[in-house]
Amino acid sequence: MLGAIILAAGASERMGHPKALLIYRGETFLSGILAVLYAAGIERRVVVLGHDADKVLQNQDLSQCIVVQSTDLAAGPIGSIRTGLAVLLNHPVEAVVVWPVDRPHVSLDTIRALVDGFRSSGRPVVVPVLGGKRGHPVLFSRTVFEELADVPDDVGARHVVHADPNRVHEVEVADPAVLEDFNTPAEYEGLVRREDQMGSE
């Protein structure tokens, strides 16, 4: 069984609106991510909320996933990862996809490629790569859960990724979304405008 942790606890200060609730392709960032995970056969989906938890819960149907609030908002993303892992330790998951909520346009093909890469390589860390650059989401095997939970706040999950190159499997993808995130209204508007242009072609 595979799991996922969607990181949606950030304050979205520069965006000025909860990123989880921004609209892309007719649904919220969070809804789109959950739909892709479901289509990829990832059964245990954990949404980690934080600063805007009340607003997200009021405006988003999360009945089909596990919802938790980050126990360490000051730690940033790694605090949310720890919170999600603590929940999934009680489930028989063999690996998790860690997906920041501000990457809503990562494709189903990319997620399937990560899962296939994990199955075929047997390596505990699987990362998407585009043009020689590593991106997100990243898949982590259960064998590194404890290590993830113990890393210092100032280095976060990348410490686990960089600790041993031999245990990392890189998956080449043709998906620019793995290298993009959206932190400001201008960046978000660019994403929407780009989608509108593609739709009109």
CATH classification at residue 63: 3.90.550.10
Nearest to 133 by CA among 181, 179, 182, 100: 179
pLDDT (tens digit, 0 to 9) for every residue of the chain, 201 residues total? 999 999 999 988 889 899 999 999 999 999 999 999 999 999 899 999 998 999 999 999 999 999 999 988 889 999 999 999 999 988 999 999 999 999 999 999 999 999 999 999 999 999 999 999 999 999 999 999 999 999 988 889 999 999 999 999 999 999 999 999 999 999 999 999 987 776 555
Q: Where are the beta strands (DSSP E) in the chain?
A: 2-8, 23-24, 27-28, 44-49, 66-69, 95-100, 125-130, 133-134, 138-141, 168-172
Q: How far apart are CA 158 and CA 111, in angstroms?
A: 19
Q: What is the pLDDT of residues 70-96, one digit of tens each?
A: 988 889 999 999 999 999 988 999 999
The kind and range of the H/E element at 134 are: strand 133-134
Q: How far apart are CA 6 and CA 30, in angstroms?
A: 8
- Cα 145 to its chain centre, rounded Å, is 16
What is the span of the domain harbouring residue 46? 2-200
Count up the domains in the chain and report the number: 1
Close Cβ partners of 190 (under 8 Å, ≥ 6 residues apart):
none
Q: Where are the beta strands (DSSP E) in 40-81?
A: 44-49, 66-69
pTM over 0.85: yes
Looking at the DSSP bridge assignments, the partners of residue 28 are 23
